[in-house]
Amino acid sequence: MIKRHLSPLFSACLGLSLIASTALQAEPLKRVVSAGANITEIIIALDAEQQIVAVDSTSQLPNNLSLPVVGYHRQLSAEGLLALAPDAVIGSDEMGPDSSLNQLQQAGVQIHRLNSQSTVASLEQRIDALAKLLGHPAKATELHQKLKQQLTQLDEYSQSAKPMNTLFFMSHDAKKLLTAGSDTTANSIMELAGAVNLAKPHLNSYKPLSDEAILSMQPELLLFSQRSLDKLGGVQGVLSSFPVLAATPAGKTKAIYAIDGHALIGGLGLASIDEAVRLSQRLQ
């Protein structure tokens, strides 16, 4: 996944602003734009959804909650956000563009960019940061306890699960596959579930693998984002579009499962942990 990089000057100014806002902030934020699926799910889990005034297009909301959608978190419009009169915009370090963030900051809107790393520690840091910004420390304690229980469950499942040789793919069309290597949320989900990511030693992000490499790896399980699987027409569509996958052990047994794409956005999140639990149960 390609990340936008802030200019050195803007990064420095933004960093100083965040330090100052954290130090001076005494009251919880009241009107927040949540720009990222990972951020929104944590805010909702903290029971702070009443403090959200809008979300980005990657965010999933419960059926009983309806909020304005401000577009994609990498392509935010300052004008549209300012019309909502937020006191802050919270997103991952993938949020942008820089010009919109700069304009919002100049208008007095706080910008909080949280990590998008794919580790449990980074998820815990995000929970704590959001709880502090929104004023829900007690709920954060509950959320940490739930997370700890899930991780214990995953550890128990992984000890009894078959360490299945696995590859994770995304495809935006029926012509090209991108494989998840290390430093990806998909890799973290696989490892938490007890699966072996065959691409990890060879790739460090989402990149193509040659047909020869895929065949040589002999994957027993193929994972796709739900969106990719739907676009390709399900399991049979995958095998028809990519004959190389049909020739693998996973293809021959049709061991092809979907991972919720929202669980892959913005680093390891609560939905990612849920997907790891679901995958680990399938590996038993």
**What pLDDT is stored for residue 25 in this prediction?**
52
Q: How far apart are CA 47 and CA 90, in angstroms?
A: 16
**What pLDDT is stored for residue 22 in this prediction?**
43
Long-range interactions of 65-68: CB distance < 8 A, separation 24+: none
pLDDT band at 174 (very low <50, low <70, confident <90, very high): confident
What pTM does this model have? 0.88
Q: How far apart are CA 261 and CA 273, in angstroms?
A: 13
Q: How far is the CA of 280 from the CAs of 100, 136, 159, in angstroms?
A: 41, 31, 10
**What pLDDT is stored for residue 68 in this prediction?**
96
Task: Give the closest residue to 116 by CA, choosing from 107, 125, 103.
Answer: 125
Instruction: Return the sign of the alpha-carbon dihedral for residues 189, 192, 197, 199.
Output: positive
pLDDT, one tens digit per residue, over 183-203 is 999 999 999 999 999 999 999
Mean pLDDT of the chain: 91
More confident residue, 158 or 232: 232
Helix 185-193 to helix 137-160 angle (10° resolution) is 60
Task: Give the closest residue to 61 by CA, choosing from 91, 40, 31, 88.
Answer: 40
pLDDT band at 161 (very low <50, low <70, confident <90, very high): confident
CATH 3.40.50.1980 domain span(s) along the chain:
8-143, 161-282
pLDDT, one tens digit per residue, over 67-103 is 999 999 999 999 999 999 999 999 999 999 999 999 9
**What pLDDT is stored for residue 56 in this prediction?**
97
Q: Exposed/middle/buried for 169, CB within 10 Å: 0-12, 13-18, 19+?
A: buried
**What pLDDT is stored for residue 160 in this prediction?**
81
Q: CATH class for domain 161-282?
A: alpha beta
Q: Exposed/middle/buried for 24, CB within 10 Å: 0-12, 13-18, 19+?
A: exposed
Q: How far apart are CA 242 and CA 211, in angstroms?
A: 9
Mean per-residue pLDDT for 275-283? 94
Please, what is the Cα angle at 37 between 191 and 63, to 5 degrees?
115
**What pLDDT is stored for residue 86 in this prediction?**
98
- Contact status, residue 171 vs residue 208, Cβ threshold 8 Å: no
User: What is the DSSP code (8-state) at residue 55?
Assistant: E
Strands 32-35 and 196-197: unpaired
Burial 206-233 (b: 16+ CB within 10 A, else e): beebeeebbeebebbbbbbbbbbbebbe
Mean per-residue pLDDT for 120-140? 98
Taking phi over 0 as left and psi of -120 to 50 as alpha, with beta for the rest, 210 belongs to beta
* Overall size of the chain counted in residues: 284
**What pLDDT is stored for residue 255 in this prediction?**
97
Q: Which residues contact 218 (CB under 8 A, 6 or more apart)?
A: 165, 248, 249
Q: Give CATH superfamily name and number for 8-143.
A: Nitrogenase molybdenum iron protein domain (3.40.50.1980)
Q: How far apart are CA 76 and CA 92, in angstroms?
A: 13
